[in-house]
Structure 1
Amino acid sequence: MPSAVLPVHPLVARLKFRHFRVILALDELQSAAEVATKLHISPAAVSKTLAEVEAIVGMPLFERGRRGMRATQIGREMIEGATLVTAQLSRLAESLQAVREGTQGQLSIAYRTTSVQPILAQLICAFHECNPRVDVSVIDGGIMELINQVEEGELDLLFAYEDPRLDRKDLCHSPVIAAQQLVIVASTTHPLLRQGHISAQDLVDQQWCIPAHGARMLHHLHTALRALDLPPPQRGIRTSDVAMTVNLLQAAHFLAVYPERIAAQLAAANVARVVPFKLASQVEPVVMVWNGALAPRAPARVFRDFILRRAETMPADSSAWLANVGMMKPA
């Protein structure tokens, strides 16, 4: 028996897609003239469209001031709703286009921590093998740019350290990798590794690959050294780039600090060795982030649900966790 069709509120029924486009453009550009240029319509058409929406809503959506147009409280509600509607319609258009072209849609992923990279790479490869007609993209960018892309529906999944900046109304996040111990690594031939006992002062006296100002690892390193009543390292080269750190470790005697998973990767590749000194500091869990207000693309739903099912039982060795990746195929 077919399901009942949900009634549409009379106010919503009168709104058109062009209304949403103009409202969002006005919020972005704050000028009717600039919106007209962007949308290739006349300024009069912009004013008319805004007047139509305000007549439907029954309240002004923007305040006109010397510095441009600013959304009112009800205008902000309209903008948030219009953002979700246009993002969902964009996903619908992508799905329809994928069917017409004989593909299976798109999956866009980004990550902001090397800790998750090996597991994520293997999962992406397994998913691509099961779903060769899905267009998979791995996106790069700064954390705030990527968060905005998840909010706007452009990015399906973001993998990042747990962060207060992820606490936004529509964003959902779930742990993928638990909190990790902070670990010191050294060049493979570092003289410090030949010592029978390594003191905290020994560490501070060495050359370091010092994390860049504002970097998460710098904060955790300072926290760990403060717990030992020691100052932060002063000698060395400041960089947060993993590839550059690897090259520095191979070129000279340096120390560096990383979460235990990255440290294990470097040790397995024989480009560094773990220093037998325990720091009293942990790095935040790695979480998977998505927009819970949008219906997920089918490939993203399959990829996300697989990870959610497996994340709680993920062992340190990712190969065991990946034993059942053949399940990652849309129904």
Structure 2
Amino acid sequence: MVEVPPMAMKFLRQRVSLRHLRLVLVLDEERSITRTAERLCISQAAVSKTRSEIEKGIGAPLFEWFGHRLEVTPVGKCILQSARRIAAELECLSDEFALMKSGMGGVLSIGTRTISGQPFLARVTAAFKKAHPAVTVQLDDTDLGSLLERLSKGSISLLYGRFDASCADAGLEAQPVMGDRIVVIASPNHPLANQRKISWTDLVKQSWVLTPEGYMGRYGRDYLAAELSRHQLPFPTNLVETQSLLLIMTLFQSGDFLTLLPEGVAAQLETRGLASVLSVAPVGPVEPVCLMWRSDTAMPPAARRFRDVALELLRADEQQRLEEEAAAVKPLRGIEARRFETVQGARKQRSGTTSAKRRRAPKEIIGELA
């Protein structure tokens, strides 16, 4: 962890202002004095002067030029972390006052990077909007790297997607929602749709719709490559590449194609007659889908309430699952108990018959056997 120089302590405790912190935050986002000045509606000279005040008071540069772009120094990163926390706290305080005065309103921005988790996200959003109709919910779907950066800077309050190593390194708290694997699905009338035994050799020869190489996350292209490598097979060459699930489903209605999707989504499409899940083992590991938020930054009231609604639905789903399992086990126990009583009764009857035979004279028993 970077330590702030000792000479900076007096400046930070006595002279630093919100004006200083806001300038540092905007400079970090824009990485340009010109754009920072335009955004803050001040002159470029004022930007340079305020920046100079901060760096002189701290005794170290916050930003350094690399070519035509400003880059944050280690000391600058330390100051930025505190500036973001302070800005978030003030934003939350403002929201709390607004909530006390006129009810919850404003805009709640949530990043989303998952397909299989969309039904749950839709349930939470619907329940939240029913309770707080004045809050505008923005669901931003883009690549995970951008969403993680936006979450760290506070431009989104929650992130809903697959939890991986990059998330763990970002100082996030996560609540698992679900987990599933990637399965192979086919067009509804595909020749392989009704086959019970399908080999990867047959699958490689088919027409596939996949995301472009290097695209983050979506339909498990990397998992497919690993699976084919395990079978010593080449990657399919009969390809259509797109990032759009809607376009994939449209292609499925127009021809015979295969693609990869999380099993939860695939099951929904199969139920609606839009696709067929093929009889081939899933590819790749089970990856958890989580609701994530910063653990070191205050959460705005709307985001906190949205998270609480999600947790309430998760608890209700878990309770329903336990009740259904108990209801299924109860009749089974009844059958097992009756079966046990029947077996015990038969054993007692055989035992009684044997004892009776033993009490009779040997001649009588010999007569029966004869």
Same fold (TM over 0.5): yes
Quote the Cα distance in structure 1 between the aligned partners of 2:132 and 2:52: 47
Q: Where do 1:227-306 residues align within 5 Å?
A: 227-306=230-309
1:294 aligned counterpart, secondary structure: coil
Query: Deviation of residue 251 (structure 1)?
Result: 0.8
Q: 1:31 to 1:133 in 2, by over 3 A?
A: closer
Q: 1:112 to 1:47 in 2, by over 3 A?
A: closer
Query: Deviation of residue 33 (structure 1)?
Result: 6.2
Report the AA paired with residue 165 of structure 1: S
2:237 aligned counterpart, secondary structure: coil
After superposition, what is the alpha-carbon deviation per residue over 1:130-184, rounded to whole angstroms, capped at 9, x for unaligned?
2223332222333222222211222121111123332344422232212x22211
In structure 1, list runs of 5 or more residues that go unmatched: 1-8, 322-331
On the 8 A contact 1:177/1:311 being kept in 2, the answer is no
Q: Where do 1:1-331 residues align within 5 Å?
A: 11-28=12-29, 35-54=36-55, 56-57=57-58, 59-62=59-62, 67=67, 71-178=72-179, 180-195=180-195, 197-215=197-215, 216=217, 217-308=220-311, 311=314
1:119 aligned counterpart, secondary structure: helix
Quote the Cα distance in structure 1 between the aligned partners of 2:171 and 2:21: 19
Report the AA paired with residue 85 of structure 2: L
Quote the Cα distance in structure 2 between the aligned partners of 1:45 and 1:85: 23
Q: 1:41 to 1:144 in 2, by over 3 A?
A: same
After superposition, what is the alpha-carbon deviation per residue over 1:253-285, rounded to whole angstroms, capped at 9, x for unaligned?
111111111111111111011111213533522
RMSD: 3.1
On the 8 A contact 2:162/2:289 being kept in 1, the answer is yes
Quote the Cα distance in structure 2 between the aligned partners of 1:210 and 1:270: 20
Report the AA paired with residue 75 of structure 1: G
On the 8 A contact 1:227/1:280 being kept in 2, the answer is no
Equivalence for 2:4: none
On the 8 A contact 1:151/1:171 being kept in 2, the answer is no
On the 8 A contact 1:98/1:105 being kept in 2, the answer is no
The size of the alignment, in residue pairs, is 309
Q: Greater CA deviation, 266-275 or 28-37?
A: 28-37
Query: Deviation of residue 125 (structure 1)?
Result: 0.7
Quote the Cα distance in structure 2 between the aligned partners of 1:311 and 1:120: 11
Q: 1:55 to 1:107 in 2, by over 3 A?
A: same
2:259 aligned counterpart, secondary structure: strand
Q: 1:309 to 1:123 in 2, by over 3 A?
A: closer
1:281 aligned counterpart, secondary structure: strand
Identity, % of aligned pairs? 32
1:287 aligned counterpart, secondary structure: strand
Quote the Cα distance in structure 2 between the aligned partners of 1:255 and 1:219: 16
On the 8 A contact 2:185/2:259 being kept in 1, the answer is yes
After superposition, what is the alpha-carbon deviation per residue over 1:66-111, rounded to whole angstroms, capped at 9, x for unaligned?
8476544333321222222223323333443455554445432231
On the 8 A contact 2:183/2:281 being kept in 1, the answer is yes
Quote the Cα distance in structure 1 between the aligned partners of 2:196 and 2:44: 78
On the 8 A contact 1:105/1:298 being kept in 2, the answer is no
Equivalence for 1:3: none
Quote the Cα distance in structure 2 between the aligned partners of 1:151 and 1:64: 21
Query: Deviation of residue 247 (structure 1)?
Result: 0.9
On the 8 A contact 2:157/2:293 being kept in 1, the answer is yes
Report the AA paired with residue 254 of structure 2: A
Query: Deviation of residue 249 (structure 1)?
Result: 1.1
On the 8 A contact 2:206/2:257 being kept in 1, the answer is yes
On the 8 A contact 1:176/1:288 being kept in 2, the answer is yes
Quote the Cα distance in structure 1 between the aligned partners of 2:239 and 2:170: 42
Q: 1:77 to 1:183 in 2, by over 3 A?
A: same
In structure 2, list runs of 5 or more residues that go unmatched: 1-8, 325-370
Q: 1:156 to 1:15 in 2, by over 3 A?
A: same
Scaled by the length of structure 2, the TM-score of the pair is 0.72
